Amino acid sequence: MRRTLAVTAALGVAWMTRRALKRRIGDSPLWPLPALETPVSGHSPRRALRALIVSRTEPAQGVLRLTLESPDLPAWTPGAHVDVTLPSGLVRQYSLCGDPADEGRYTIAIRLVEDGRGGSREAHAQLVEGAELELRPPRNRFALVPAASYVFVAGGIGITPILPMLRAATAAGADWTLLYGGRTLDSMPFLDDLAPYGDRVSVLPEDETGLPDLAPVAAAGPGTLVYCCGPEPLMDAVTAAADPASVHLERFAPAGEPGPGRAFAVELRRSGRVVEVAADESALAAVRRELPDTPYSCEQGFCGTCQHRVLSGGVDHRDELLTDQEREDSMLLCVSRAQGDRLVLDL
């Protein structure tokens, strides 16, 4: 009897030890290395949302407007955008252009870019009414700052983040004007939405009026804020014409070459490996040589798919996405680099 009890106790201890070891390995796949927190990369801290496409229309030539509905959609403010996961897994960013007061409903617009990277072609071909779409909660790095007066400048699809700003500025009693340019009148969406604003809005199709006259931007007085979204040359022209302190820009394409790079090393703490990042390559490319399953999508610093936790080292942030708080302990591998000679990542 005593022997039986001893054997039973030993088996119980062995089972508990095996279970604890299995849990430990699960917590840290490279056990016995120290278990760290779950890495950010591929696991966005912003939870995934599901929404139904309830309407698909074409407000202009080559422009797709989608209305999405779900009771789980968070509130948002003018200037916000959402990350949309396309059926292929590509992640793209689109400004919210509906009314923030419409709870449970988002509106986005997507211009077809035939020679782009494929996201807009996929959206136009596959995002149909009745389909479900995955997206992440809104971000806003283009928030409308309260002011007595504004000059808004939009180019083409850049009208999308501006639309809800016009509603908000009107509701607040602010004085404002809009310069809205595009290639042709047929290519410029949301003209019907702008019509009620009358002569506050100047519609400037390039094939009829040439490049927009930015005199209202240059003439903006103290306290007038300038908001611009559109092609890079337009934003450059607006920045040159206005007081830089008054200008707010929204970009969904890189602002240009970020300057010469320099080589640095990246330590992958979970595996103990060290990879060298050449001056002419991204940290993402170097990391993927060692860890080919590291997720990524846009490779331009906008979608956040390659966001990863930084355990040590200063980061030269070159993205248009992360908040100041997120930049304290993470980076986007596709565009950002080390300030010094070495970074340590939670990989």
What pLDDT digit, counting tens, does each position of 110-122 carry? 999 988 778 899 9
Tokens 């934003």 locate to 235
> Exposed, middle or buried by CB within 10 Å (0-12, 13-18, 19+), for 169?
buried
CB neighbours (10 Å) of residue 313? Answer: 18
Residue 238 reports pLDDT greater than 80: yes
Residues 6+ apart with CB under 8 A from 177: 150, 151, 152, 200, 201, 202, 216
Rounded to an integer, the average pLDDT of 34-63 is: 74
Mean pLDDT of 49-63: 97
Question: Which residues lie below 8 Å from residue 233, measured CB to CB, with a gap of 6+?
Answer: none
66 or 15, greater pLDDT = 66
Residue 297 confidence (pLDDT) above 90: no
Q: Provide the pLDDT confidence category of residue 253 given band limits of 50, 70 and 90.
A: low
pLDDT band at 310 (very low <50, low <70, confident <90, very high): very high
Q: What is the mean pLDDT of residues 157-169?
A: 97
Average pLDDT over residues 319-333: 86
Please report, rounded to a whole number, the percentage of residues in the chain having pLDDT higher than 70. Answer: 84
For residues 18-55, b (16+ Cβ closer than 10 Å) or e, as one string? eeeeeeeeeeeeeeeeeeeeebbbeebeeeebebebee
Confidence tier at 90 by pLDDT (50, 70, 90): confident
Any residues with CB less than 8 A from the CB of 146 and at least 6 apart, and which? 172
Of residues 272 and 104, more confidently modeled? 104
Looking at mean pLDDT, say which of 13-22, 160-169, 292-301 comes out highest. 160-169
